[in-house]
Amino acid sequence: MTGRHLFVLFGLAVLACGTTGGGQPDILEAGHDELAPPDEVVEALPMDLAPDSVADEEAQQVPKVKHRFTFRVITGASMGGHAMIVGAHHPDMFDAIGSLGGYIDYRYLGHFIRDHMLGGFCPMEQILANLDKVNDPVNGPWCGPYPTTDWEFPWSFNQFIYNDSGGHWKRNFYFNAIESISFAFGNSLIYNPDNPLLPPGVTVDWVKNAPDKCKNPIHVGKPHNFNAEYNPDGIYDLITFCDGDPVVGCKDNDPTKCGENNPDYRQLASWHDPNQEYDRLLLTLLAVDYNGNGKRDYCEPVVINASERFKDVGSDGCDDSKEDGKGGCTGSSGGTDPNHDNFDLLKNPTGTEGNNEYDEGEPFEDYGLDGVPASRSGVKDYGEGDGKFTYNPNYERMIMSDARTYMMQAPVEELRGHWWWFDGGIRDPIHALTVVSHTANALLARGADVHFYDDFVGQPTSLAPDRKCEDLLMDLDALDWSPSKVGSSVLVRYGNPNATPQEVLMGDGGHIG
């Protein structure tokens, strides 16, 4: 087996042809020194040319380059997919860098947490007009999941998506994940200059020593309670609150259909039930207590002050109705994307309009992180009036360390000098495929050779379209893995789009888990 196979093998050997929980055969037992002695330098063709594609090297005048072949690989699955971030920070240490269903794009991850996982709340006016139903999940002012795009699921704060790839992922699991990110980078949702983790107004002493925190929350008033969307005048207190895994009861009071035997278990196990008591303090979050009852009712929103507010119209500074078709704005176009800047993950991944991110040139309100001008609140918030778009410093630290930022900023030759492997499932409920697609698209936009495949086998656009899943892992060496054949870098979107319900339940296209 030659070294040129390795950049594909490290991905394929972990996944079992698009299903979760596959076997993991040994890839390579030899150490780095055995593979490439440090003093051995050979003359070779450039990396993007396959040796067997050159019939007559001299006749074609292919330039020779000196290259010491090494096969140093770093990769990981799911959370371990952060191996790509490690590799991106230390590119000189690795030749092939991979992420198997990993969360390597913190810009998208930030949007996913803020708008999907912590979203779904109605506008303030609608909630206040229906306060008598604020704890009613059926008839109350609840607006539901954030709109979805490619490979996304309908998330909202009250309706998480249950997953059992590699565990039982219910509400507490996801809350742990959100808090872990805050422990790593600081609280990216609400900035507190006095504490990197806790929201403003919440003290360390209360967290450590207060009894029964769920029934005796902290009430946070002015000047820390302003929020443009849900408390622009600071009239209402923000409160700490508790949540957690609900107890799934019996369907239709049938004692044989309780808990995991409830046919609706996969839905109810991760949905918030306002009629239950919870004991899991959400350390990094605050909610608006509109009715003053000291708890977060079903329709009362979680507050997020992650950045100054902006209009996501693209770096041209205007929406479609005002675009002139030449990259500028006229004020009266009325066309459909005349400047061709509308974001689409598949068709226009470099588009800046509607990409859920701030881009240079987009209009923003310089009112600080709370989004409320000091003339209204009486408080000059962090970043207010400084003439530039401001992120929560913890969120900015987070996004500047991810793999996509590296792809956007690294020298092109450095990017081309590595093999990159990405994959994700088309039915991954925590959007790993969308995450790695953003990162792979950033690599492609820099001029790297990235090839996209639909599953490992079974489709015309698969990595090995003529092979069967059960045969692929046993016959890897018979395939041509040269960069000229499969690409110097690869993204595999695994999962059968025509899978049966039973195959989907068993994990087809799911999280690698």
User: Which pair of structure tokens corresponds to residue 61?
Assistant: 């005048």
- pLDDT tens string for the chain (513 positions)? 444 444 444 444 444 444 444 333 332 233 333 333 444 444 444 444 444 444 454 455 667 777 677 789 999 999 999 999 999 999 999 999 999 999 999 999 999 999 999 999 999 999 999 999 999 999 999 999 988 889 999 999 999 999 888 778 999 999 999 999 999 999 999 999 999 999 999 999 999 999 999 999 999 999 999 999 999 999 999 999 999 999 999 999 999 999 999 999 999 999 999 999 999 999 999 999 999 999 999 999 999 999 999 999 999 999 999 999 999 998 776 678 999 999 999 999 999 999 999 999 999 999 999 999 999 999 999 999 999 999 999 999 999 999 999 999 999 999 999 999 999 999 999 999 999 999 999 999 999 999 999 999 989 999 999 888 888 878 888 888 888 889 999 999 999 999 999 999 888 999 986
Report residue 52 as tokens.
Answer: 């067997």
Give burial (CB, 10 Å; 0-12/13-18/19+) of 118. buried
What is the sign of the dihedral through the CA atoms of 422, 496, 487 and 469?
A: positive
CA distance 225 to 234: 6
Buried/exposed code over 320-358 (b: 16+ C-beta within 10 A; e: otherwise): bebbbeeeebeeebeeebbbebbbebeebbebbbbbebb
> Do residues 141 and 122 make contact, with C-beta atoms less than 8 angstroms apart?
yes
β-bridge partners, 281: 242
- SS3 readout for 24-43: CCCCCCCCHHHHCCCCCCEE
SS3 call for 283: coil
Tokens matching residue 230:
């849900």
396 exposure class (CB count in 10 Å sphere: 0-12, 13-18, 19+) = middle
DSSP 377-430: HS---TTTTSSS--B-HHHHHHHTTSHHHHHHHS-HHHHHTSEEEEEEETT-TT
Closest C-alpha among 178, 168, 181, 177 to residue 270: 168
d(CA 504, CA 482): 32
pLDDT of residue 47: 45
DSSP state of 273: -
List the structure tokens of 13.
């050997």
With contact defined as beta carbons under 8 Å apart, do 280 and 172 qualify?
yes
Count of C-beta atoms within a 10 Å radius of residue 418: 20
| Phi, then psi, of 288 in degrees rounded to 5 | -90, 125
> Amino acid identity, residue 450?
V
How distant, in Å, are the alpha carbons of 418, 462, 495, 510 from that of 164? 34, 26, 17, 10
Q: How many CA atoms lie within 13 A of 353 on its CB side?
A: 18
pTM of the predicted structure, to 2 decimals? 0.86
b/e per residue 491-512 (b: at least 16 CB within 10 A): bbbbbbeebeeeeeeebbbbbb
> Is the bond preceding residue 301 a cis peptide, omega within 30 degrees?
no
The neighbour count for residue 435, using CB atoms within 10 Å, is: 29
User: Alpha-carbon distance 35 to 393, whole Å?
Assistant: 44
Strand intervals (E) in 110-246:
219-220, 238-239, 242-243
By 3-state DSSP, what share of the chain in percent is helix, strand and coil, each rounded to 5?
30, 15, 60
Q: Which of 81, 72, 77, 99 is nearest to 24 (CA)?
A: 77
Residue 400, C-beta contacts closer than 8 angstroms, at least 6 positions apart = none
What SS3 class is residue 467? coil
412 CB-contact burial (10 Å; exposed 0-12 / middle 13-18 / buried 19+): exposed
> Would you call 309 helix, strand, or coil by DSSP?
coil
Burial 195-206 (b: 16+ CB within 10 A, else e): eebbbbbbeeee
Could you give the CA distance from residue 304 to residue 374 in angstroms, rounded to a whole number? 18
Q: What is the CA radius of gyration of the chain?
A: 26
Q: What is the pLDDT of residue 295?
A: 97
- Distance in angstroms (rounded) separating the CA atoms of residues 8 and 451: 12
Q: Are 150 and 346 in contact (CB under 8 A)?
A: yes
